[in-house]
């Protein structure tokens, strides 16, 4: 039980006791008991540490130098423990101190001036590096995934390291029509039996396909288990939590990066119903975190580092879709917590650098920036908003249903024995996926290919099954793209698509959350795109056969191109992605960047809005928030308003029946008394009789300082007085000298009055990024509210288990 | 003096005593003395109101009902005076109370449920209405401005209400070539002399042009003076201030809207060097403010209304440029103060509605959404980044210089007699502009037309002077757009452009800030576009004659199209606009939406970044911030970090030498004592001996409540006790009953300790939108910090006059 409490169940499986590898990219993890402001119900929540000893001794060498902003003379002071929340105000204040110091020094010497300039530009340099690294990695992942995916089906005779496409590029014999049939590329069946025809060859291909898929999946899950348990899942829920101020050491470290990059390629290649877009955000954030270590400014400051990580999230989406503006808005809307304007501008820069790096690697082989490039020829008609809104409803329903089903499945995994066999689970799902997917060409192809094909507008030369229309009339220029009746090819495609839709909807529920890297963007979009294309083709045929009917009259003539099924696929994809993630503006902008025309923004927006509203009616959480809650992370949702009318006094600790608050007095505590405390932070008051607030001190800082004082200074014993006041009390001649620790005390703790409504308190926590806040009544200290208390209170209001919030 | 203190010098002219018309669209302005927390130096800043009277009387009918969130039983309670700052926390809390009430009621009856649903969707409905109204108005302004601009040059014989373009559309005789010469359209000279040739006709045209220009300008300035002095200028500085929480009654009222719309058309038509883009933001905000009155939710809540206004700012830019995404980012980056995600999504919706409304009105006559549609054919080469960065430097220098010159000129206008004659000033500038502009075709055409022409890529058929290249070689398809040597037409165009550049740079300095509506976007972009085009043509000729030279080798062959002068113009426009406004992402995105291709984002970004850096080196303020400071508005810049290391105790009032803080005690003040107070707000403490904070009360609320109590309740006399405590003190049998006012007291005033660094305090003020904050030391009340105190402190640090901050 304890290990589940100490570490979340990554990827929502029952966590099996694996500890994440300690990652030296991150700060030194100081061993210490897990400290907790609040309490479980069986332990009294807050104890009073009363100490009334009046031994004193003058000591002038108090840790005044502790306040030096540029260096930590006492190592570890001001750092955080794993699985704890940072104090944004303190971090930002620290950075401002540092900056002030540099500015002040810069007037003194040329070297300091240069240092100041390089400091000012280090943010931009870092962004450049993040963009380059993430772009290059994304390109590498694309190329490798293509190669391995093709490997499942066959091999290039010119060299096994060529993908199908590369192999056939080299072939000089290929004409436009035979692009897929170049002699250098042979399926496994062809290679072994010598012929591509026949049932035997087919079955051989089928079997080898399954074997490869199982092999890739096995490799992926084993690598994740062996090297970086954090590498599984999409990573976005955790990144959201980290950006909100939580610390998960190693989550963005170099082992995670390497493992995630490799296993992502394997997972995608195994043919599972998952995408690489979400994990690319994690990869980009790992890059950013690692590169942060090159710059003191970002290495030493958790708040500054989170600015860079916000930008990295934008970079991730930018390289995933080739949509830099959409990426920035995604980071702003969906992932980030603290997003100042400076970060907006830098994110945009990094996203562009990454997009252009990716383009120069050119993994799609078409020098296009975007993942799905679409160009539609026909405008849309106002009447079509009805089917678009219908797609929005479908997307919303599917999103809500998917979230409920996936969370239920993850809960089963977490609570039953299933969670103990992640490898078996992955192999089973892979086997089922491969078995079912192979016979249907729409499930066999990768998600991205499928979406591309569904978005595509049929031209006359298109040989795809989806464009299997009957040719009627003259094929002049005027009506080359006109509506045509469906032919047998299209009918085959339609029922295959319907089966694919059903299969994708089911398999994605069990796939997302397994112990392999898995993104949700592509599977959701695929579901929506299939539904949209089906509806689009339906509408098209309806229009073709009823072009004089009531609704089509006036805009659909027999020779005109009035319905674009590809547009329906795109709208459907947006609707489903919106339903699952509840993205809004960023979704529409990403889609807009794919088409490059404002023309289709209105259909996309109509669908995205409907989808969000419908899905919100079933529960306001998107998939990422749902997974955050499932894992018990301390995440204070910035989007939701706190609706309840409770006051600060109702939420604070101690509660009415509890013993009074554990406080330290400013000049009457001994070292021994302080060391025996249990809570992770204490308000310091004038005296027990007059509980007026002086400051706030963290137990971690206190212990580190006392340890340090013991090493550096003689005479620090258990009976030494710990003094927080400005002027030490009158000295007793026989006692040990007092230990002056005013320097480590936060002299400006946040306070609210007991009558402050909780909505205002929650707002203050959110906007300022607080860890805790003290409650006063008429100037007297009354209690304390931590972020965890607020989250527990919110859980209670929503009739959820308050103990599901695991961390501070 | 007093009137200048009470009202800012609009449009930065010496304010001439005109009072803005009272605008009944806004809330009732309650007459009262101008109240001020802080002080001028000759008045003691804070006085103590000590009252020790112990008369008491039980009274159960205290204004407990004052807390009802849905209605104000006491009119005026909780409202603000003109030229005061709102309390964001209180406003948002009020709205949450209202929302909670509605949600609670909705469970009771169907009517209440419907009310709850309509309340939830009223925001969207309002956005739709704002989009429709602003789009329609923008379309109207475009059409009217075109018509009046053409009116200066000639008239349509088919009907005077046709613009040149409309007139010639109707002409059936027009061919492609003679589009500008249709018989229905006659210049004034032609109409009078019967011929379009000859010096007499030219001089006649010239004179009539000047007369019209003066007439339009006179009309514009007179209307502004007569109906709405707030209608002048671009309005963006004031809107920024209003969005940050300031109240300027009537600034967004219906008179301002009507006057601004009409005079904007006149000002643009008069040929002055100004644009309509900035004022369109003001027009859209007026629409939003007026439409807010339809919905109680937005009418009664200043914070909610500001959310709508933020969206309206996005709408304004969306219709100005046809760039909805850019508009939203503009609002986010440049104008808004409080921009929650909900507003992002709604802004986007409103911006799209507005853009599509404008497109269906089709004022540009080409069914294009965007103001300057450009499509370039050639890609750019990495080497070209050098001239692009050069353009960025130019833009930054021009921006910094422009701001300094314009502010200096506005200061002259404010302090000398020039400010007293705004009509003369406008007429003089108009006369000079018309006189100088007419002979040069590039200054005669409107700013938007000029920019369009400069952005344009020369095709072979282009008859423009700017495309006056010599035709060389074969004119096959392959090299139709290839680089060509400059011909005499182009040389003429170049020197005309050089003169136009000089003229625009000078005249814009004196034009911006005059008492007519005037935007800065178009003039700045015009300056940059001219500079860019000149550089572009220079580069092109260099490449043509040196295509084998070192830098052009490899990418410029004689037959290829390697340099696009139009792109240079665009980059230059972005650089200059960036230098003046310091926009970054929004600028690039607006430009991106104009071209619709990600291809050219890198040049734009390089120029915008360089421009911002260069301009920032000369002063970190953009033109809007500079004007805000010039007017002394209380605007706490959210972008700039507070760098100084002062503490709250250094900034708070009272200062060390001052008398102690004016406080009220919770149960020992009389009505008479309270009424004789002077400051606009008071902390309430336990007692004079124990200055522990109980709450905070505003004088305005206090006076309104006492007045109301006098009307409703007998026995309220000067000697009645005012009680803020929960339990009234023991009652004296002979005294008047006490007045219980706990209901109007803010029980959760914000406090910081005296040791809180000012950077943190400023952060709290910014993020929470505070008006004031109390300072405590060890639980005792010490002083107060208001927004104005902070701004004065910041002015002092920057060596500016702290008394330049005029308002609370």
Residue-level pLDDT at B715 = 75
Task: State whether B760 and A89 contact (CB < 8 Å).
Answer: yes
Q: For helices A758-768 and B88-106, what crossing angle results, to 10°?
A: 130
Whether the per-residue pLDDT at B36 is higher than 70: the answer is: no
| A782 → chain B, closest CA residue | B779
Q: Which residues contact B5 (CB under 8 A, 6 or more apart)?
A: B34, B806
Confidence at B473, pLDDT banded by 50, 70, 90: low
Count CA atoms within 13 Å of residue B208 on its CB side. 19
- Among A331, A345, A683, pick the best mutation site for testing chain B contact (most B Cβ within 10 A): A345
Task: State whether B601 and A778 contact (CB < 8 Å).
Answer: no
Q: Is A758 on the interface with B (CB under 8 A)?
A: no
Residues 760-799 of B with CB under 8 A from A: 760, 763-764, 767-768, 776, 778-781
Q: Is A436 on the interface with B (CB under 8 A)?
A: no
To the nearest whole Å, the CA of B434 is away from the closest chain A CA by 38
CA atoms of A331 and A282, how far apart (whole Å): 12
Q: Is A759 on the interface with B (CB under 8 A)?
A: yes
Say how many C-beta atoms besides its own lie within 10 A of residue B40's C-beta: 9
Cβ(B317)–Cβ(B330) below 8 Å: yes
pLDDT tens, residue by residue, B649-697: 999 988 888 888 888 888 888 888 888 777 888 899 988 888 888 999 9
| A612 → chain B, closest CA residue | B345
Q: Is B598 on the interface with A (CB under 8 A)?
A: yes
Task: Label residues B48-86 b or e (16+ Cβ within 10 Å = b).
Answer: ebebeeebbbebeebbeebeeeeeeebebbbbbbbbbbb
Cβ-based contacts under 8 A for chains A and B: 156
CA atoms of A344 and B333, how far apart (whole Å): 9
To the nearest whole Å, the CA of B613 is away from the closest chain A CA by 11
Q: What is the mean pLDDT of residues B96-124?
A: 89
CA atoms of B68 and B264, how far apart (whole Å): 44
SS3 content of chain A, % helix, strand, coil (to 5): 55, 5, 40
Q: Is A609 on the interface with B (CB under 8 A)?
A: yes
CA atoms of A328 and A325, how far apart (whole Å): 5
**Strand A154-156 relative to strand A664-665: parallel, antiparallel, unpaired?**
unpaired
| A352 → chain B, closest CA residue | B602
Task: State whether B751 and A751 contact (CB < 8 Å).
Answer: yes
Of the candidates A96, A585, A760, the beta carbon closest to that of B345 is on A585
Residue-level pLDDT at A370 = 66
Q: Is B377 on the interface with A (CB under 8 A)?
A: no
Cβ(A280)–Cβ(A316) below 8 Å: yes
Q: Is B605 on the interface with A (CB under 8 A)?
A: yes
Residue-level pLDDT at A518 = 92
Task: State whether B341 and A638 contact (CB < 8 Å).
Answer: yes
Task: State whether B597 and A601 contact (CB < 8 Å).
Answer: no
Residue-level pLDDT at B251 = 93
Residues 504-523 of A with CB under 8 A from B: none
Residue-level pLDDT at B731 = 65
Instruction: Write down all domains in chain B, each with its CATH number in brackets.
Output: 128-170+178-361 (1.10.3080.10), 382-456+492-623 (1.10.3080.10), 648-798 (3.10.580.20)
Q: Which residues contact B200 (CB under 8 A, 6 or more apart)?
A: B189, B193
To the nearest whole Å, the CA of B181 is away from the closest chain A CA by 34
Pick the range with the lowest mean pLDDT from A417-421, A530-534, B372-376, B507-511.
B372-376
Higher pLDDT, A128 or B164: A128
Please, what sign has the CA dihedral across residues B388, B389, B390, B394?
A: positive
Task: State whether B355 and A749 contact (CB < 8 Å).
Answer: no
Burial (CB count <10 Å: 0-12, 13-18, 19+), residue B612: buried
To the nearest whole Å, the CA of A96 is away from the closest chain B CA by 7
To the nearest whole Å, the CA of A432 is away from the closest chain B CA by 41
Q: Is A669 on the interface with B (CB under 8 A)?
A: no
CA atoms of A588 and A72, how far apart (whole Å): 46
| A637 → chain B, closest CA residue | B341
Find the helix or strand (DSSP H, E) in which B702 lies.
helix B699-712
- Among A88, A335, A778, pick the best mutation site for testing chain B contact (most B Cβ within 10 A): A778
Mean pLDDT score across all residues of chain B: 82
Say how many C-beta atoms besides its own lie within 10 A of residue B225's C-beta: 17
First to last CA, chain A: 18
Low-confidence ranges of chain A (pLDDT < 70): 1-73, 170-181, 363-371, 459-463, 471-483, 558-560, 595-598, 730-733
Kindly list the residues from chain B whose CB atom is less than 8 angstroms away from the CB atom of residue A756: 747-748
Residue-level pLDDT at A404 = 95
Q: Is B352 on the interface with A (CB under 8 A)?
A: yes
Residues 59-118 of A with CB under 8 A from B: 89, 92-93, 96-97, 99-100, 103
Task: State whether A757 and B748 contact (CB < 8 Å).
Answer: yes
* Unique residue bearing structure tokens 């000067």: B718
pLDDT tens, residue by residue, B694-718: 999 988 888 888 888 888 777 777 7
Backbone phi, psi, residue A757, to 5°: -60, 145
| B333 → chain A, closest CA residue | A341
Residue-level pLDDT at B367 = 53
Residue-level pLDDT at B4 = 34
Kindly list the residues from chain A whose CB atom is less than 8 angstroms away from the CB atom of residue B764: 768
Find the helix or strand (DSSP H, E) in which B10 lies.
none
Task: State whether B592 and A325 contact (CB < 8 Å).
Answer: yes
Kindly list the residues from chain B whose CB atom is less than 8 angstroms away from the CB atom of residue A767: 767-768
Cβ(B230)–Cβ(B248) below 8 Å: yes
pLDDT tens, residue by residue, B54-85: 333 333 333 333 333 334 467 777 788 888 88
Please, what sign has the CA dihedral across residues B642, B648, B650, B653?
A: positive
**Range picked from A642-651, B499-508, B731-740, B777-786 for highest mean pLDDT:** B499-508
Residue-level pLDDT at A38 = 37
pLDDT tens, residue by residue, B326-368: 999 999 988 988 888 888 889 999 999 998 888 888 765 555 5
Residue-level pLDDT at A731 = 65
Residue-level pLDDT at B483 = 67
Kindly list the residues from chain A whose CB atom is less than 8 angstroms away from the CB atom of residue B638: 341
To the nearest whole Å, the CA of B678 is away from the closest chain A CA by 25
Residue-level pLDDT at B363 = 62
Cβ(B531)–Cβ(B391) below 8 Å: yes
Cβ(B555)–Cβ(B381) below 8 Å: yes
The Cα angle at residue A18 between residues A14 and A19, in degrees rounded to 5: 125
Cβ(B144)–Cβ(B265) below 8 Å: yes
Higher pLDDT, B589 or A24: B589
First to last CA, chain B: 18
Task: State whether A602 and B342 contact (CB < 8 Å).
Answer: no
Residue-level pLDDT at A349 = 92
Q: Which residues contact A408 (CB under 8 A, 6 or more apart)?
A: none
Cβ(B496)–Cβ(B468) below 8 Å: no
| A587 → chain B, closest CA residue | B345
Residue-level pLDDT at A570 = 92
Task: State whether A333 and B341 contact (CB < 8 Å).
Answer: yes
Task: State whether B585 and A355 contact (CB < 8 Å).
Answer: no
**What number is the ipTM of this complex?**
0.84
Closest to B527 measured CA to CA, from B573, B479, B468: B573
CA atoms of B739 and B733, how far apart (whole Å): 15
Task: State whether A585 and B348 contact (CB < 8 Å).
Answer: yes
To the nearest whole Å, the CA of B779 is away from the closest chain A CA by 4
Q: Is B335 on the interface with A (CB under 8 A)?
A: no
- Among A587, A753, A780, pick the best mutation site for testing chain B contact (most B Cβ within 10 A): A753
Q: Is B319 on the interface with A (CB under 8 A)?
A: no
Pick the range with the lowest mean pLDDT from A791-795, B500-504, B639-643.
B639-643
Please, what sign has the CA dihedral across residues A210, A215, A220, A224?
A: positive
Cβ(A396)–Cβ(A575) below 8 Å: yes
pLDDT tens, residue by residue, B401-458: 999 999 999 999 888 888 889 999 999 999 999 999 999 989 998 888 899 889 887 7
């Amino acid at each position: 039980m304890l290990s589940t409490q100490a570490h979340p169940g990554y990827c929502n499986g029952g966590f099996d006791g694996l500890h994440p590898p300690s990652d030296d990219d991150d700060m030194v993890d100081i061993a210490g008991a897990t400290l907790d402001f609040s309490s479980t119900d069986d332990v009294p929540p807050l104890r009073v540490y009363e100490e009334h000893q009046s031994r004193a001794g003058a000591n002038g060498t108090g840790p005044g130098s502790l306040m030096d902003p540029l260096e930590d003379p006492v190592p570890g002071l001001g750092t955080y423990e794993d699985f704890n929340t940072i104090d944004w105000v303190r971090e930002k204040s620290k950075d401002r101190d540092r900056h002030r110091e540099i500015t002040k020094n810069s007037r003194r010497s040329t070297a300091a001036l240069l240092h100041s300039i390089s400091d000012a530009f280090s943010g931009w340099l870092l962004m450049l590096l993040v963009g380059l690294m993430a772009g290059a990695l994304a390109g590498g992942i694309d190329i490798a995934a293509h190669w391995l995916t093709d490997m499942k089906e066959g091999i290039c005779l010119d060299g096994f390291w060529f993908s199908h496409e590369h192999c056939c590029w080299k072939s000089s014999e290929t004409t436009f029509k035979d692009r897929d049939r170049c002699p250098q590329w042979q399926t496994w069946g062809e290679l072994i039996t010598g012929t591509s025809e026949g049932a035997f060859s087919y079955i051989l291909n089928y079997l080898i396909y399954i074997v490869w898929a199982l092999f890739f999946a096995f490799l992926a899950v084993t690598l994740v288990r062996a090297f970086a348990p954090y590498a599984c899942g999409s990573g976005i829920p955790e990144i959201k939590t980290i950006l909100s101020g939580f610390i998960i050491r190693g989550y963005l470290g170099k082992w995670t990066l390497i493992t995630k990059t490799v296993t992502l390629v394997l997972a995608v290649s195994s043919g599972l119903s998952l995408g690489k877009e979400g994990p690319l955000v994690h990869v980009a954030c790992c890059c950013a975190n690692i590169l942060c270590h090159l710059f003191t400014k970002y290495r030493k400051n958790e708040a500054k580092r989170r600015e860079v990580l916000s930008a990295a999230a934008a970079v991730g989406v930018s390289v995933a879709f080739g949509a830099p503006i959409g990426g920035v808005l995604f980071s702003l809307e969906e992932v980030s917590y603290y997003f100042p304007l400076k970060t907006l501008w830098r994110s945009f820069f990094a996203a562009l650098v990454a997009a252009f790096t990716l383009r120069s690697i050119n993994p799609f082989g078409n020098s296009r920036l975007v993942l799905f490039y679409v160009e539609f020829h026909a405008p849309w008609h106002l009447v079509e908003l009805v089917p678009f809104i219908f797609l929005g409803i479908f997307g919303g329903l599917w999103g809500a249903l998917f979230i409920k089903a996936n969370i239920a499945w993850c809960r089963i995994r977490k609570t039953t024995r299933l969670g103990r066999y992640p490898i078996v689970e992955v192999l089973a799902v892979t086997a089922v996926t491969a078995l079912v997917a192979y016979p249907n060409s729409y499930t066999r192809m990768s998600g991205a290919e499928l979406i591309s094909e569904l978005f595509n507008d049929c031209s006359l030369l298109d040989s795809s099954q989806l464009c299997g229309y009957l040719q009627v009339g003259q094929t002049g220029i005027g009506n080359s793209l006109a509506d045509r009746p469906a032919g047998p090819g299209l009918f085959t495609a339609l029922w295959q698509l319907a089966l694919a839709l059903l299969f994708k909807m089911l398999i994605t529920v069990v796939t997302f959350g397994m112990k392999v890297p898995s993104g949700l963007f592509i599977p959701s979009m695929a579901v929506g795109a299939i539904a949209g294309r089906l509806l689009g083709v339906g509408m098209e045929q309806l229009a073709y056969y009823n072009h004089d009917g009531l609704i089509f009259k006036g805009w659909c003539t027999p020779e005109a191109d009035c319905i674009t099924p590809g547009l329906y696929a795109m709208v459907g994809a947006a609707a489903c992605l919106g339903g699952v993630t509840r993205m809004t503006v960023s979704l529409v902008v990403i889609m807009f960047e794919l088409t490059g025309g404002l023309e289709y923004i209105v259909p996309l927006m109509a669908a995205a809005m409907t989808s969000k509203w419908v899905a919100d009616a079933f529960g306001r959480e998107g998939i990422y928030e749902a997974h955050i809650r499932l894992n018990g992370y301390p995440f204070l949702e910035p989007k939701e308003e706190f609706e309840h009318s409770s006051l600060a006094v109702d939420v604070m600790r101690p509660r009415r029946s509890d013993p009074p608050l554990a406080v330290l007095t400013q000049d009457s505590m001994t070292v021994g008394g302080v060391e025996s405390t249990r809570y992770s932070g204490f308000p310091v008051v004038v005296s027990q009789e007059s509980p007026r607030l002086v400051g706030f001190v963290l137990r971690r800082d206190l212990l580190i300082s006392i340890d340090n004082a013991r090493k550096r200074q003689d005479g620090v014993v258990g009976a030494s007085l710990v003094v927080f006041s400005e002027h030490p009390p009158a000295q007793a001649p026989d006692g040990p000298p007092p230990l002056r620790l005013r320097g480590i005390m936060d002299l400006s703790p946040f306070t609210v009055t007991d009558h402050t409504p909780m909505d205002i308190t929650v707002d203050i926590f959110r906007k300022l990024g607080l860890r805790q806040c003290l409650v006063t009544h008429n100037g007297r200290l009354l209690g304390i509210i931590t972020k965890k208390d607020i989250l527990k209170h919110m859980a209670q209001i929503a009739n959820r288990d308050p103990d599901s919030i695991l961390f501070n």
